[in-house]
Structure 1
Amino acid sequence: MKRNTVVVSVVVLVLVTSGTAGFAAGATPTADAAGAQSLDAGAVGGSLADEGDGTIGTSLADGAATTPFQTAGQELPFVRGSPDLSVSTASPTVTPGQTNELALQVTNDGDLDVGMGGDARAIVTTARNVRVEADAEDTPLTVETGTVAIGSVTEDRPGEAPIAVTVPEDVEQGTYEIDVELEYAYTRQQSGGVTYDRSATVTEEVEVEVSDDARFEIVNATTDAQIGGEGMLEAEIENVGADTARDASVVLESSSGGLAFGESASDAARIDELAPGETRTVRYDVGFASGAPVREYALSGSVQFETSEGLQRADEAISAGVTPGPEQRFAVDDVESDLYVGEEGTVTGTVRNDGPNEARNVVVQFAEESENVIPIERSVAVGTLGPGESDEFRLPVEIGGEAKAIDRTADIAVRYRNAEGETRAYQDLELLFDVQPKRDQFLVEVDDREIETGTGTEIDVRITNNLDETVTDVEARLFADDPLDSGDDEGFASALEPGESTTMTFDLEASGSGTAKTYPISFDFRYDDADGNSQLSDTTRVPIDVVEGEGGFPAGIALGVLALVALVAGGVYYAKRR
């Protein structure tokens, strides 16, 4: 018991001599679970020697709460002090006619009354749970932001509280004061294992300046662009401020993927000078995505300018909306084709203007590349089409020789001029057409296809134009291999209309030594097509039957015997003469 009394006496002596607390009569130490000595908070009371701040476990004299704290086995330094908060703003200028964001900076120039610096200083100079609330009751300004919590503010780590301040359009230029209330908690004193926490409220004033610079509004914005097209956007900019703006750069930006300024989301236009109350029109090239909805598209922007004093300023809060016209649309109907693998042909159809506006100088053109579908002409003119009007078009096409005979598609576009003469294009169109298998350009028929060995004959060949166009200067050529041969292997026709036939006659001989069986002869044709281009047809083969001659020796053997008889007779005659 005496040992415990001595410990308490020593603690009391230390606290009294340090001026931090006095113990209530009957206070006794208690032991924690670890066996460490600690004070019973319910039995300990005291006051700050220099302030009479209350007792541990009760309220301070000024109403702030105190909190006892002790860490077993750890001796904490004695330190006393407090935060000293102030508020300022680096950009105090606000603009009339809009809600401005004002960044309030909270700094702390703490006071250390007793104790050493370093970590101990931060214990009592840190403002914790700082809450910022601004008020502009005595001004025409309105603070739109409520309480902002910014956490702890230390001497080397300021805090920032952004607030929104609305400034009326007609407010007088000048300086106004905003009251800023700061609420926070802090540790007033720490001694041994005991800390004294307080809360505090301070009010600061921040001056804001209502600008008398030039300010800008977009009073009207229009565009002649339609959905799926490009056009001009015109924005009327008015200087609603009190100063002349010079060398102004007006930047507009779209946050929608449906509206673009060329290849970018923004663009800038320049105004040399704009006096207060003056309006100027700036123009931008814009485009609206195909399929985008017809609605108002939001535009935001800024104006960088020079004041009359030569200072650089910016108005970052201009905005507007613009509505495009409905998309100019076209449709394609009645698509037909006469296309064959390896040939030229045409794709025909009807293009219709579905409105809403007249389309001038309409042109239908291919919009994609293909190895097997080769446009002979990439575009064809149709003419002017009013809303609801239609007209036919014909696209000449060549189908490659390696193409497949299948149904095919091709993307096409309709290019036209609007009422202002500006070129526009509609690309959401597709042609569906079929390609027929490869065919012979000329049909070849031989009625009498039989020839005897060792004889010659004339064969009549009927040639039919199997194309869908008139051909001219048709030159036919016959080709034969042993045992067949021809001494007259060419034929000619000046012109053949589609489906028209003509008969050409050729000589054909069969060698006497040939074997009786079927042999092929071939024809090809060189001709001029309907466009005057020289073409060479594919080769057409026709079977010819070679047969043995009727009765006697075969013609070849008979000729050999006759030659031998003539030779013997000649020898006898010569011998008799001698």
Structure 2
Amino acid sequence: MNSRSLLTLAVVALLATAGVATAAVTGSPDISVYVTDDSVAPGEETTLDVVLVNSGNLESGASRNPALNSEVTTARGTTVTVESGDAPFEVTTGTQAVGTVPEGKTPPISFDISVPKDADPGTYDVPVTVEYEYYSYISESEGTRERESTTETFDVEVTVEDSAQLGVVTVDAGTRVGGTGTVSMTVENVGSATATDTTVSLASPSGDLTFGQSAEATRYVEEWAPGEQRTFEYQMTAARTADTEAYPFTLTADYDLPSGESRSARPVTVPIQPEPEQEFTIVSTNNTVPVGGAGTYNVTIRNDGPDIARDASVQLTSQNADVTFGQSNTASRTVGTWEAGDERTVTFDARASASAQQQAYSLAASVSFEDSTGNAGAVEGLTTELVPQPRRIAVVSTESAAPVGDTGEYTVTLRNDGPTPLNDASVQLTSQNADVTFGQSNTASQFLGSWAVGEERTVTFDPTVGQNAEQRDYALTGTVRYERPSGAAGQQDGISLGLRPTPEQTFAIDDVESSLRVGDDGQLQGQITNTGTESVSSVVVQWTSEQRNVDPVETEYSVGELDANESATFDFDVDISDSARSGPRQFTLQAQYDNDEGQQRTSDPLAVRAPVESESDEFDVAIRSANVTAGESTTVRLEITNTKSNALTDINGKVFADSPISTSDDEAFVSSLDPGESATLTFSISVSGSALDKTYPLSMDFQYDEADGDTETSDTYKIPVEVNRDGGGGDLPLGLIGGAVLLAVVAIGGYIRFS
């Protein structure tokens, strides 16, 4: 306990004895020191980061104002001094002012140190001196304070470790601005430890100097002893924007000590300076490239040095889609060895589109090469221009005779507007739409041969126009290829042409008549008209409908040749089955024909509407006599009429009866009946004596032959037979006969009879 504390206690005791309660706050800071990283390496320029920790020592706290407690534990006007002591390094930073240090810890306070390369590894005590002031006493009632100062020295341990460090011995930068070259660097391990599994990295400070696509390159060393030198080579590219001044590259190394601990060597700055750029100059240009055609472009370039260029090549890049090199906007040509000061003329095959103008089109040129040391280089940013020559092929006229949905002729007349005659000329057309083709291709060519200046030449193509094409202009592109008198090949492409198809070949059907009836044969008749603009031959009307219950006897009807607007009649025999329904029907026909080229074509479907009439009986049956007295016999006389539209032959009628009626003469025969013709049939019947006085049914059906030879069986007819028991016979009254209903049922009876 110091004198100040004894005095404070005495004052407190005196006041207590006097009965006066006087409060006071007493205490002091409690400082300790440590460094954040206590390891350094020989040859290293680094820092020691010192941290002060104030734990505070409060001896007597405030009773009314707790904020006064921190006033006595806070260090004020604090300074820190680090000395090397017996450590083998130099502290180059002097005393540093820290200021107020409350309870807690300070941020790191950095002191620069320099560790010699030959520093002995080991652990050393480094003295850290801290000076500060503080309030040791504060009166709570009067606010009086007492201030004291203190100096404390702390020893912190710092270890100098074995380490490997890098030292650059030589640098040879063989890279030229605008090129790629080899940077050779010799590096020594100037540390005190052997490095194993070392990765050496060289990092560029600028995007103008790169290693391939990266800003950093690495090399590996398996074992690297102290004092040993290694040489590393890097392929570095210097952009055209790079300067010919030294750039500060950073060399680092990550390695393992023999103990297996991982370490990193301190970074080393390496100055690398690119060599001056190789230069080329465009001297002159000329071309034979016409608008819408192809030709040559010649550019003369001079190597301005300072070095020879080996394996040199020149590349041109068009800045506009109207000027190209083949199908690309770039082209390259090899020059070979190119001495400084020499001029070289390089020839390119170029093309100007049909939309190009006679104006200057910008071209970018570059030269790639190897310099005298074998390093790759490139000079970019050279500019030149191409002005296309006037067109030499002109379109005089075109004519189209190709109908929609067919093949026809397309004729083009062209003129050579010079300035020279052409040899081995040919014309190619290319369709821009799938509705216009040339056979199975979208292109077709015709050979012209020699072509004098001012001469007009006509070529004919056979295009095919699709079925869905419209009557509008379809774009075609023409290309003329040729050879100049000098033997150089040339061409003009992008020649714009248009093909308008002629109207499609069409047909119409009218005057349709029908005798179609359910369960019967009939005819469909009509008239077909060529509504197209051209004559057609070998016209055949085809029945293409596929409907149940409708069966044409033949599906084709030959018409022959039809001129434009000419008509011809046709008819089809058609069988309508019993299960068909009556009513209006739509049938589909098509016209097959040969065009002018002798090629067979088929028209669009042609819709035909015709009615199918309801089914009718084959015969009208009229009763002339059908009365009988019970227990007697009589003759039944029936008049039948052919109601069909065609003659019927071999008509065999048969009656059959059920008890009490029986028949002994149940068949009658008619050789033929024309439509509407009638005949009388007679049958003998008997009635038993037990028959009642009423009407009994007598069944009847017919078997006959149609005009086409088919044998048919009719439905069953019911004949009413009047039976009287009082003998008052006689013929059935005519009114009763006319009102009798002949009921048709399914012809099962006829089937049983004739089967």
Q: TM-score, normalised by structure 2?
A: 0.50
Contact 2:303 2:342 in 1 (8 A): yes
Alpha carbon RMSD of aligned pairs, Å? 3.9
Contact 2:42 2:163 in 1 (8 A): no
Counterpart selection for 1:391 from 304, 328, 344:
344
Give the corresponding residue for 2:599: none
Q: Where in structure 2 are the equivalents of 1:168-207 lying within 5 Å?
A: 168-192=116-140, 193-207=143-157
| Structure 1 gaps, min length 5 | 1-18, 21-46, 56-74, 445-460, 477-490, 506-523, 541-578
Distance in 1, Cα, partners of 2:421 & 2:175 = 45
Q: 1:435 to 1:149 in 2, by over 3 A?
A: farther
Shift of 1:392: 0.6
Give the corresponding residue for 1:50: 6
Q: Does 1:227 align with 2:177?
A: yes
Shift of 1:313: 1.0
Distance in 1, Cα, partners of 2:43 & 2:56 = 39
Give the corresponding residue for 1:114: 60
Counterpart selection for 1:417 from 370, 392, 395:
370
Shift of 1:323: 1.9
Paired amino acid for 2:384: L
Counterpart selection for 1:528 from 470, 473, 482:
482
Distance in 1, Cα, partners of 2:286 & 2:113 = 68
Distance in 2, Cα, partners of 1:50 & 1:218 = 66
Could you say what secondary structure the match of 1:326 adopts? coil
Counterpart selection for 1:247 from 187, 194, 197:
197
Q: Where in structure 2 are the equivalents of 1:38-77 lying within 5 Å?
A: 48=4, 50=6
Q: Where in structure 2 are the equivalents of 1:209-220 lying within 5 Å?
A: 209-220=159-170
Distance in 1, Cα, partners of 2:267 & 2:275 = 27
Q: 1:92 to 1:439 in 2, by over 3 A?
A: same
Contact 2:62 2:69 in 1 (8 A): yes
Contact 1:301 1:317 in 2 (8 A): yes
Q: Where in structure 2 are the equivalents of 1:194-343 lying within 5 Å?
A: 194-343=144-293
Paired amino acid for 1:50: L
355-364 or 283-292: bigger deviation: 283-292
Q: Does 1:472 align with 2:428?
A: no
CA distances 1:535-578 after superposition (whole Å, capped 9, x unpaired): 679599xxxxxxxxxxxxxxxxxxxxxxxxxxxxxxxxxxxxxx
Give the corresponding residue for 1:355: 305
Q: Which has the larger radius of gyration?
A: 2
Paired amino acid for 1:434: V
Q: Where in structure 2 are the equivalents of 1:148-187 lying within 5 Å?
A: 148-187=96-135
Could you say what secondary structure the match of 1:218 adopts? strand
Could you say what secondary structure the match of 1:227 adopts? coil
Counterpart selection for 2:382 from 404, 416, 429:
429
Q: 1:149 to 1:537 in 2, by over 3 A?
A: closer
Q: Where in structure 2 are the equivalents of 1:506-521 lying within 5 Å?
A: none
Aligned residues: 426
Give the corresponding residue for 2:90: 142
Distance in 2, Cα, partners of 1:278 & 1:525 = 72
310-319 or 183-192: bigger deviation: 183-192
Distance in 2, Cα, partners of 1:99 & 1:174 = 17
Give the corresponding residue for 2:609: none
Shift of 1:165: 0.4
CA distances 1:193-250 after superposition (whole Å, capped 9, x unpaired): 2333333332223333322222222222223221122233333221122221111111
171-180 or 396-405: bigger deviation: 171-180
Distance in 1, Cα, partners of 2:68 & 2:38 = 36
Paired amino acid for 2:40: V
Q: 1:475 to 1:390 in 2, by over 3 A?
A: closer
Q: 1:266 to 1:475 in 2, by over 3 A?
A: closer
Q: Does 1:407 align with 2:360?
A: yes
Could you say what secondary structure the match of 2:193 adopts? coil
Distance in 2, Cα, partners of 1:50 & 1:228 = 84
Could you say what secondary structure the match of 1:50 adopts? helix
| Structure 2 gaps, min length 5 | 12-20, 397-412, 429-445, 459-477, 498-755
Distance in 2, Cα, partners of 1:525 & 1:280 = 65
Shift of 1:396: 1.9
The higher-RCO structure (CA 8 Å, 6+ apart) is: 1
Q: 1:221 to 1:432 in 2, by over 3 A?
A: same
Counterpart selection for 1:344 from 272, 294, 301:
294
Could you say what secondary structure the match of 1:232 adopts? strand
